[in-house]
């Protein structure tokens, strides 16, 4: 280990050449003529303890002592023979090489120590830190953070002692897997539960891998301990929340279905009797009674429509619906048949161009086009007969068919282009344009069930184009 104090380094630098000088003088009869080794040993010790700079000073002092006292002519710094010159310079060269080697070894040792300290510090940053085991799986080092957390010592954990920290029920399985991993040399990856000194249970993920030598043989195992307690608790909490949400959604869907379905019959009865009252007693009561009955009939019919649309919205995507393979234009034709009276009354023109041949649920897509066509006809401009164009554009790069329903109606303000697809969102009073505010929400859900999306491109006062996509994966050759 290199001395830190400058005074101690200087003292050692002077002392060891002096000790070599004294030893050579005492052993002169035995050492003559080779006094160099003792001075070389002294210089090597100085290099190890004080560093290369002090070692070269030691070599200088040793060279002076060797030349003056032990190389003829004695008590003189003269070197009369050429061989003596070679001997002296060979001494300097050998000592310089030794000092260089010791310096390099010290640098390597320091680098290894610093790297080891860095890795140990890095291991301590990991929750519960790292570990090292020998080739047989005997633990030889565990991080301080792990030992402190579980109130144990390295001595207790050495070998297979760490297994005592495990729950007794889990210990045999973990030990068996540990020994199997060590024997076969495959990646160790195991979760187990430990209790800290306060009795709190911690979930630990232990991972390790063998360290191979250059010839491929295992020399040891290194690994880490990860504290995944919070993660596991978070996952358990999220699963519980997801189960609660799923249960709540199921109950909500059941409630919506029962409400919409079971209310239909009593509401139909109410509407029928109100209509009967209207026909039987119209003109027989005063005008206020006729008006009130009319309001009641209208309200019952509107509620029937609302419940029907809610039930349709709730049923979209539920269960396995029968599908057909054919041109989408067939769904448009059926929608036009259902709306024939509305189309005729409004004097509307429906133009259908190229549409894809796909696999689809005919009932869902008929409803989709019914709602889009109803909107296109309903929101027409005064004095302008509705014209609706339906056509498709194939877009291979995006992987979709883009279906467009274009009208020449009143248009939609751009700030409402997303809001109109939400349930019960209306842009106009019901007195101007009747409806439930659910139709476009139904369209959106149908399209999304089929893996597409729907949007609107509109110019106020000129018309709107509703655009929905169908994945090319649903396309079928005909």
- The pLDDT, as a whole number, for residue 405 is 92
Contact status, residue 332 vs residue 352, Cβ threshold 8 Å? yes
- Nearest CA to 52 out of 106, 94, 89, 1 is that of 106
For the stretch 368-422, pLDDT in tens is 898 899 888 888 888 888 999 999 999 888 889 999 999 988 888 777 777 788 7
pLDDT of residue 429: 47
Strands (E) in 263-339, as ranges, are 324-327
Domain boundaries, the chain: 6-121, 127-227, 242-315, 324-474
Percent of the chain with pLDDT over 90: 5
The residue whose two tokens read 């379905």 is 261
Per-residue pLDDT band for 300 (boundaries 50, 70, 90) equals low
Lowest-pLDDT range, 45-49, 271-275, 380-384?
271-275
Cα dihedral: 167, 169, 172, 174 (round 10)? -50
Cβ-count burial 311-341 (b if 16+ within 10 Å, e if not)? bbbbbbeeeeeeeeeebbbbbbebbbeebee
Instruction: Give, to the nearest 10 degrees, the angle between helix 52-70 and helix 6-26.
Output: 30
DSSP label at residue 325: E
Q: Which residue reads 């060279």 in tokens?
A: 63
| Alpha-carbon gap, residue 125 to 228, rounded angstroms | 14
Task: Name which of 21-35, 199-213, 260-274 the model is least confident about.
Answer: 260-274
**C-alpha distances out from residue 394 to 8, 177, 391, 451, 455, Å:** 88, 56, 10, 16, 17
- Mean local confidence (pLDDT), 99-107: 84
d(CA 19, CA 161): 51
Q: Which of 371, 261, 369 is nearest to 314 (CA)?
A: 261
168-182, 197-211, 283-297, 463-477, range with the lowest pLDDT: 283-297
Lowest mean pLDDT segment, chosen from 54-63, 78-87, 158-167:
78-87
pLDDT at position 436 is 57
Lowest mean pLDDT among 105-109, 433-437, 445-449, 464-468: 433-437
Dihedral angle, C-alpha 412, 416, 421, 426, nearest 10 ° = -80
Tell me, what's the pLDDT at 333?
Answer: 92
**Between 20 and 319, the higher pLDDT residue:** 20
Closest C-alpha to 61, from 27, 30, 20, 90:
20
Per-residue HEC secondary structure of 59-96 comes to HHHHHHHHHHHHCCCCCCCCCCCHHHHHHHHHHHHHHH
Mean pLDDT over 301-323 rounds to: 62
Q: How does pLDDT run across 242-266, given as a tens digit for each residue?
A: 666 666 555 555 555 555 555 566 6
| Average pLDDT rounded to a whole number, residues 418-439 | 60
Share of the chain above pLDDT 70, in %: 76
* Segment of 66-70, 117-121, 265-269, 462-466 carrying the highest mean pLDDT: 462-466
**Model pLDDT, residue 430:** 46
Please tell me the distance from the alpha carbon of residue 179 to that of residue 186, in angstroms, as a whole number. Answer: 11
Tokens describing residue 98 = 């030794």
Q: Which fold has domain 127-227?
A: Beta-Lactamase (3.30.450)
Q: What is the pLDDT of residue 389?
A: 92
**Which pLDDT score is estimated for 33?**
79
pTM beyond 0.85, yes or no? no
Which three-class secondary structure state does DSSP give residue 452?
coil
Whether 54 has a pLDDT exceeding 50, the answer reads yes
Res. 169 pLDDT band, cuts 50 70 90: confident
User: What is the predicted pLDDT for the residue at 255?
Assistant: 53
Each residue's pLDDT tens digit, 189-233: 888 888 777 777 788 888 888 887 767 677 788 888 887 777 666
pLDDT bracket for residue 89 (50, 70, 90): confident
130, pLDDT greater than 50: yes
Q: How confident is the model at residue 162 (pLDDT cuts 50, 70, 90)?
A: confident
Q: Note the CATH number of domain 324-474.
A: 3.30.565.10
């Amino acid at each position: 280990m290199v001395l830190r104090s400058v005074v101690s380094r200087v003292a050692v630098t002077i002392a060891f050449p002096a000790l070599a000088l004294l030893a050579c003088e005492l052993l002169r009869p035995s050492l003559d003529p080779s006094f160099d080794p003792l001075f070389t040993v002294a210089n090597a010790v100085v290099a190890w303890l004080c560093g290369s700079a002090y070692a070269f000073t030691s070599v200088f002092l040793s060279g002076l002592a060797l030349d003056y006292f032990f190389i003829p002519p004695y008590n003189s710094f003269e070197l009369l023979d050429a061989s003596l010159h070679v001997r002296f310079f060979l001494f300097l060269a050998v000592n310089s090489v030794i000092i260089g080697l010791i310096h390099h070894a010290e640098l390597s040792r320091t680098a290894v120590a610093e790297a080891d300290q860095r890795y140990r510090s890095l291991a301590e940053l990991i929750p519960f830190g790292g570990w090292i085991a020998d080739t047989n799986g005997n633990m030889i080092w565990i991080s301080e953070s792990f030992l402190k957390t579980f109130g144990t010592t390295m001595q207790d954990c050495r070998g297979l002692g760490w297994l005592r920290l495990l729950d007794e029920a889990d210990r045999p399985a973990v030990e068996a897997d540990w020994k199997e991993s060590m024997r076969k040399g495959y990646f160790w990856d195991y979760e187990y539960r430990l209790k800290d000194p306060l009795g709190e249970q911690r979930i630990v993920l232990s991972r390790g891998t063998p360290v191979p030598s250059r010839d491929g043989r295992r020399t040891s195992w290194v690994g880490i301990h990860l504290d995944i307690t919070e993660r596991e608790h978070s996952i358990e909490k999220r699963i519980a929340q997801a189960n609660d949400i799923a249960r709540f959604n199921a109950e909500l869907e059941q409630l919506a279905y029962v409400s919409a379905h079971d209310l239909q019959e009593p509401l139909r009865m109410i509407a029928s009797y109100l209509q009967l009252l209207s026909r039987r007693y119209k003109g027989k009561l005063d005008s206020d009674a006729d008006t009130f009955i009319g309001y009641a009939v209208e309200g019952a019919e509107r509620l029937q429509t609302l419940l029907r649309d809610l039930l349709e919205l709730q049923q979209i995507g539920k269960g396995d619906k029968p599908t057909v393979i054919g041109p989408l234009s067939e769904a448009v034709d059926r929608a036009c048949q259902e709306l024939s009276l509305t189309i005729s009354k409004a004097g509307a023109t429906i133009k259908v161009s190229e549409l894809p041949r796909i696999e689809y649920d005919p009932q869902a897509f008929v409803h989709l086009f019914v709602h889009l066509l109803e909107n296109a006809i309903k929101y027409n401009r005064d004095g302008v007969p509705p014209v609706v164009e339906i056509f498709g554009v194939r877009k291979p790069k995006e992987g979709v068919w883009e279906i467009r329903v274009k009208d020449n109606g009143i248009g939609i303000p751009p700030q409402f282009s997303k809001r109109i697809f939400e349930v019960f969102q209306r842009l106009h009073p019901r007195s101007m344009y009747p409806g439930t505010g659910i139709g476009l929400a139904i369209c959106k859900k149908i399209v999304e069930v089929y893996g597409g999306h729907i949007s609107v491109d509109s110019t106020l006062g000129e018309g709107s184009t509703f655009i929905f996509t169908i994945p090319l994966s649903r396309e079928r050759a005909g």
